[in-house]
Amino acid sequence: MSLDLEDIRAQIEEEMTWRVNEMRFLGNQLAYIRNEDAQKLYRKSLIVMLYSHFEGFCKTSFLIYVKAVNKLGINRLDANNHIAAASLGEVFKYYGNTDRKNEYFKNSLPDDEKLHLFSRQVDLVAQLKELFDETVTIPESIVDTESNLKPVVLRKILFRLGFPYNVFGPHEGKIDFLLNRRNSVAHGTKDGGVTDSEYNGVQMTTYQIMTELTTLIMLTLEQQLYLKSL
């Protein structure tokens, strides 16, 4: 099955457009606040909203990618290792269950963890051909922002889905700033406000990441990088 790449791009760009427009509307309200200290305090609320849109955009965009890959109906044998592993989460969980013990040794050697682990591994090997003949279905739970999309969490999601995990490395300082200021506002642990230059800098970086993520996802789909390299 082929993908409608233009439709996928439109979905992601629409997701970005409404979020940027909302932030622009909120930012325009600064013109009605004459006092500089009051403006700084207002930017604190803008930081909270900016972070929410950043996390929401990233999560939605990754899910659009997951749905696109699932729609293709490719076999695990043809998928790259990250995509194949991402679709085998429940299988790994099943065979990693330490409560599952070999029936033959269940009573005579109930506490032999190494033996029962080996037994589960034997069972898994026996199922490998069948598993790799199955169609890839990546669970949406693979995109877990952990309610704090800090750089390491973003790298984890990128890694699980087979993207270059350090692609946003140059921007991680700004992501940390955005997240830390959002958390300080949300938890009421920091007084003072946000300067114009601080806010403009982190907003520009946030939008840049959102744009680069769009490019990354579309390039991966266009070049079929979700498939195993030949």
Q: What are 165-208's pLDDT values in tens digits?
A: 999 999 999 999 888 888 887 766 656 788 999 999 999 999 99
Residue 136 has pLDDT above 90, yes or no: yes
| Mean pLDDT (the chain, rounded) | 89
Instruction: Using alpha carbons, select from 134, 153, 128, 22 the residue that is nearest to residue 75.
Output: 134
Cα–Cα distances in Å, from 49 out to 61, 171, 191, 197?
Answer: 18, 19, 18, 17
- Write the pLDDT tens digit of every residue in 45-81: 999 999 999 999 999 999 999 999 999 999 999 999 9
pLDDT tens per residue, range 203-228: 999 999 999 999 999 999 999 999 99
Helical (H) or strand (E) element with 218: helix 196-222
Element (H, E) at 153: helix 151-160
Kindly indicate the confidence band of residue 114, based on its pLDDT and cuts at 50, 70 and 90. confident
pLDDT recorded at residue 132: 87
162: left (phi over 0), alpha (psi -120 to 50) or beta: left
Residue 37 has a pLDDT of 92
Instruction: Read off the pLDDT of each residue in 87-100 and give the average, rounded to a whole number.
Output: 76
CB contact set of 96 (below 8 Å; sequence gap of 6+): 120
Q: Is the pLDDT score of 113 beyond 80?
A: no
* Lowest-pLDDT range of 35-44, 94-103, 115-124: 94-103
Residue ranges covered by each domain of the chain: 5-77+142-222, 88-135
pLDDT at 188: 67
Choice between 110 and 173, residue whose per-residue pLDDT is larger = 173
Q: Is 46 exposed, middle or buried (0-12, 13-18, 19+ CB in 10 A)?
A: buried
So what's the pLDDT on residue 32? 95
pTM across the whole model:
0.88
DSSP symbol at 192? S
pLDDT at 189: 63
Is the pLDDT assigned to residue 107 strictly greater than 60? no
Q: What integer pLDDT is reported at residue 190 of this predicted model?
A: 59
Predicted local distance difference test score (pLDDT) of residue 21: 98
**pLDDT at residue 103, rounded to an integer:** 64
Cβ 48 vs Cβ 186: under 8 Å: yes
What are 153-164's pLDDT values in tens digits? Answer: 999 999 999 999
Q: Could you tell me if 207 and 20 are in contact, meaning their C-beta atoms sit under 8 angstroms apart?
A: yes
